[in-house]
Structure 1
Amino acid sequence: MKKKILMNTALAGALVFSAGGASVFAHDELGGGAEKGDSLAGVELAVPLLEGSKNTGNLQEVAAVPLKEIREGVKNSTGDVYAHKGYAYLGTHSANGGGGGVRVFDMKDPSNPVEVAAFADIPGTWQEKVIVKTVNTKHFKGDLAAVSVQKLDRFNPNSKGGFVLYDVTNPREPKKLGFWEDASGARGTHELYLTVQGDNVYVLTANCYADYYSHGEKMDVTIVDVSKPSSPETIYEFNPRDYIPEVSDDNYDGYNWTDEEGIKRTAFAHSVKTDGTGKTAFLSYWDLGTIMLDISDAKNPVYLGRTDFANDVQGAAHSMDLAKGGTVLVETREVFGPVREGFESAYGYTMIYDIKDKTNPKLLSTFRTDFTETIPGGATVHDPKVQGNTLYLSHYSGGVRTVDITDPSNPEEIGVYIPSRSNIWGVFVDRNYVLASDMGTGLKVLQKNGSQ
């Protein structure tokens, strides 16, 4: 496909950042960086970056809907996006005091999404991640939503972090069922995943820095049994020191890690996910890579293996998804700071692995965008989603990218969507549409048109 892109040699100098859009770092609170996305307000394009801004490659914007103000005068920004049974669920970020909860959109007409409900809007917190699944246990039957809850101020004694569970069988009238608290002293649950194993329902949590802040008393990753949503029960905590030969108390304090080559790195759990069976867990553990566990017995997981990085590659394993029936792992790495002594000069990019043998993942290829110089601060990749042989990537100011991974060893970009002031946090594929959460402007709905 011939991409319709108008480039201008003066473009980089013509980009105008809005107020507050100064230096942006990876999601690394302890490393002195801002919470990811907080100070990335998108860029105003002084000249068109894309010819025909609403039709790019195989994507066409059919709707752009801002979030309602649920508190007068307060504009919330979006977090991640998820879809289930004809409804879209948007988490919200920490901007303007947080408390934006989860927003529910009726997607009956994708060209006209209608916001019909808000829930989990807890003061003093923000709700970035939401997962919805249909479950059937002896305690609950219906559609269950798990929502991450993080404290804006981790020292506030009146604020609690963790995750909250809601009955969204009727998405227009969500009902709170239960709450699980992260008692580590960290902010709470950053990302999570809701998974079903037969009659058992589990939430896997990524509680960034729980290990570090609690001095090893609590761990970053927990498995919580939510088969009875009103009484969540922690059944397992993952301690990398117990499983990974390269990690011990001597070289790891829950955040700072010195690898086997003597290279100082950062390691904390950022996100979690399972395969479709719910029996294999994937932990995105920053410089420890993507850690794979067999959780067929959720109380007694078995370590399988992990991805690794070359000595000169900043790790920052942020998120993942699976392709090719679970034999291929797509790993996205969030790196806002491309210059670091001793490492390659590069924003975060995507790495694709063969994981047929999970004890020995093999790097097949990498995918990098063309805009690392022309969109400063937005060049890092963020989240991946795979449908069939197509990979969908959110790229902050770099918009949404679609990549053909029919041959995972040779990924090829086939579509680009960059709206003005783009700040795309998450993507989700729903029927013939791609949903994108734009932090500044709300929900974007893109129709998949095929190659043009």
Structure 2
Amino acid sequence: MSADTPPAVREAAGIELVGYHDLGANPAFKLAMQRVDGRYYLYLSHFWRSGWSVVDVTDPTAPVLVRTVDGPPNTWTLQVQVADGLMVNALERATPGWGYDPALTEKVGVLVWDVKTDPTDPKLLAHHDTTGRGTHRNYYAGGRYAYLATEPEGFKGNILSIVDLADPSAPAEVGRWWWPGQHVAGGEEPEHTHYLHGPAYVVGDLAYLSYGRIGLVVLDISDKTAPTLVSRLSFGDLGSPLGVHSAIPYGDVVVVNSEALAEGDKEGLPFTVAVDVADPAAPRIIGWFPTPYPSAGTGLETYQEKGARHGPHNQHQWQYQDCLLHDDSRVYLTHFNGGLRVYDISTPLKPREIAYYVPEDPKERRGVKPVEALVTQFEDVLVDDRGTIYCTDKNHGLFVLRLTDEAGSGH
């Protein structure tokens, strides 16, 4: 166990805590990883401070905070993607109430870093300016192209931007795709507020996009300069006003989830579903994930009662990285105040919860969220090829977990 004192366990079944780090009280968010010369390096973005950290997790029981790097001022740097020795770091204008000062200038787009030469001391290679609000949840799995979720000037909501990284010191956009209505500068009229959340998860010549209120969008990206629509699966008014937050492929199944934007009972029930994409031109819902409920003895009937945000947030994403777990039968999914939930989808018509982990609530705030009850808010999850699970909580830090032999028994 790491030297930092971990929060006590509130609820757990089939999962045990093996390590913890409070990250110097920096609020943690998105995760990425690479393995270099047998060492495992975790890259974490932060809330309420621009920048990110490098943590050596070669020994999962004793994570070591190696370095924290400052990002551009007045800028969200919420997401990192690492592959092929490069890190693609999102830059986004922060939302008011999350630390953004409209009187100050922000930097938008992505930063591209060399994390191959020295994984613990990244070297900046380039800034790719997307204009507008910048980028939110991008996708880079190595190779030549990065797929950005960005709102450039002249558009309403995020669109897809495909960027060529053949020369990582000079990124160049080569293609765009957007839903009709988003190009307001071109005279189009938007129907919604929330569009592409991202990522655009690439499988061969197809990309699966979590496109907000539009739903699940499947694109043919064989021509990077001119992506074309293959299909769209609408979820209507289900979930929050955001619509579809994530759409992650597991073989012929894409697991789609929404995300709560408001706290408590101010929105509809968030959802997670299994979508059959054996025919990408005709996606169809085939399974609904069970809603998790608090364990006996917590005094709660539902997680909605607990306060703050509840419901699904981020899934583990393999993205073809050999240091990460590839298992098309299990879904690792953070659930805000419900901690981490693990599901078996070997029978996708009947997703089944097999394990969960919820720590005690934090004792002090590291930022302005949650606004109401100060409770657990698990944000992101990543699982390495050793089966080690990493989860972030913005008011706790980094949790290092693993499944036990009891996973699946009685759940």
Q: Tell me the TM-score range normalised by the shorter chain.
A: 0.7 to 0.9
Q: C-alpha displacement at 1:362, in angstroms?
A: 0.6
Match of 2:146 in 1: 203
State whether residues 336 and 380 of structure 1, in contact with CA within 8 Å, keep that contact through their aligned partners in structure 2: no
In the alignment, structure 1 residue 160 sits paired with structure 2 residue 107: yes
Match of 1:355 in 2: 277
State whether residues 79 and 127 of structure 1, in contact with CA within 8 Å, keep that contact through their aligned partners in structure 2: no
- TM score, norm. by length of structure 1: 0.72
- TM score, norm. by length of structure 2: 0.79
State whether residues 320 and 383 of structure 1, in contact with CA within 8 Å, keep that contact through their aligned partners in structure 2: no
1:1-400 matches, within 5 Å, as 49-50=10-11, 56-68=12-24, 75-85=25-35, 86-93=40-47, 95=48, 98-99=49-50, 101-119=51-69, 121-134=71-84, 143-152=85-94, 153=100, 155-156=102-103, 158-169=105-116, 170-184=118-132, 186=133, 188-197=134-143, 201-207=144-150, 210=151, 214-216=153-155, 220-241=159-180, 253-254=189-190, 257=191, 265-277=192-204, 279-310=205-236, 316-323=243-250, 325=251, 327-337=252-262, 346-367=268-289, 368-370=291-293, 371-385=302-316, 387-400=327-340
Residue 345 of structure 2, aligned match among 391, 405, 419 = 405
State whether residues 80 and 130 of structure 1, in contact with CA within 8 Å, keep that contact through their aligned partners in structure 2: yes
Residue 447 of structure 1, aligned match among 387, 398, 402 = 402
State whether residues 390 and 403 of structure 1, in contact with CA within 8 Å, keep that contact through their aligned partners in structure 2: yes
String of CA shifts for 1:47-67, please: whole Å, max 9, x gaps: x852xxxxx222111111011
Q: 1:276 to 1:59 in 2, by over 3 A?
A: farther
Q: C-alpha displacement at 1:448, in angstroms?
A: 2.0
Aligned residues: CA RMSD: 2.9
SS in 2 for 1:398: coil
Match of 2:297 in 1: none
- Identity across the alignment (%): 25
State whether residues 201 and 247 of structure 2, in contact with CA within 8 Å, keep that contact through their aligned partners in structure 1: no
SS in 2 for 1:240: coil
State whether residues 273 and 282 of structure 1, in contact with CA within 8 Å, keep that contact through their aligned partners in structure 2: yes
Distance 1:124 1:49 in 2: 36
Distance 1:350 1:330 in 2: 7
Q: Which runs of 5+ in 2 are unaligned?
A: 1-6, 95-99, 294-301, 318-326, 362-375
Q: 1:451 to 1:217 in 2, by over 3 A?
A: closer
SS in 2 for 1:377: coil
How many residues in Structure 1 have an aligned counterpart in Structure 2? 356
SS in 1 for 2:217: strand
Match of 1:419 in 2: 359
Q: 1:351 to 1:217 in 2, by over 3 A?
A: closer
